[in-house]
């Protein structure tokens, strides 16, 4: 039993390593730097909370390849972003442009904050009206003074 196991181990150790080599980034480091700059401003459509530069999803790799090709074709950064927005919508941008279709996105948090403040102020005013100042009677006042002095009644 030990001989077949030892033979199997020897065969496995003698096989060449079958590791995959890393794919080269780009022939031109300037293209790669520009790709990283653009990809940091784009959202991964699969991960949604990661930038396109940091995502390892297959779609993100395809999009990076597409952006790399657009850079090599001589497109400007804005042209590349416009191309991706026309294809995938404003969601692909981390900072979408301010336009009528994104007003809610940009103004929404401020509107919610204003509504919350109005609700809080109304709640506090209503609560203050319900809690009325009730004056103490003479007996209650004497009892409170006695408690403050440390006397028991």
Q: Where are the domains of the chain?
A: 24-97, 98-131
Confidence class of residue 153 from pLDDT cuts 50, 70 and 90?
low
Give me the pLDDT at residue 130, please.
79
Mean pLDDT of the chain: 83
Phi, psi of 137 (to 5 degrees): -75, 170
CATH of domain 24-97: 1.10.8.640
- pLDDT > 90 fraction of the chain, expressed in percent and rounded: 40
pLDDT of residue 13: 58
User: How is residue 61 written in tokens?
Assistant: 């790799």
Q: What is the torsion angle, in degrees rounded to the nearest 10, for the CA atoms of residue 81, residue 83, residue 86 and residue 89? A: -40
Quickly list H helices, 22-149.
Answer: 29-40, 58-72, 77-88, 103-130, 138-149
Q: Please state the rounded mean pLDDT for residues 7-13.
A: 59
Residue 21 has pLDDT above 50, yes or no: no
Q: Is the pLDDT of residue 23 over 70?
A: no
Please indicate whether residue 21 or residue 52 has the higher confidence score (pLDDT). 52
In this prediction, residue 101 carries a pLDDT of: 83
């Amino acid at each position: 039993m030990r001989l077949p196991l030892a033979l199997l181990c020897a065969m496995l150790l003698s096989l060449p390593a079958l590791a995959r080599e890393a794919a080269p980034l780009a022939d031109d480091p300037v293209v790669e730097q520009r790709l990283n700059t653009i990809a940091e401003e784009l959202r991964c459509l699969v991960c949604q909370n990661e930038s396109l530069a940091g995502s390892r999803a297959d779609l993100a790799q395809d999009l990076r390849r597409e952006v790399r090709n657009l850079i090599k074709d001589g497109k400007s950064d804005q042209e590349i972003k416009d191309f991706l927005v026309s294809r995938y919508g404003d969601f692909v941008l981390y900072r979408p442009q301010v336009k009528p279709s994104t007003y809610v996105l940009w103004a929404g948090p401020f509107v919610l904050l204003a509504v919350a403040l109005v609700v809080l102020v109304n709640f506090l005013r209503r609560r203050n009206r319900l809690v009325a100042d009730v004056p103490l009677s003479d007996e209650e006042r004497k009892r409170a003074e006695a408690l403050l002095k440390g006397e028991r009644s």
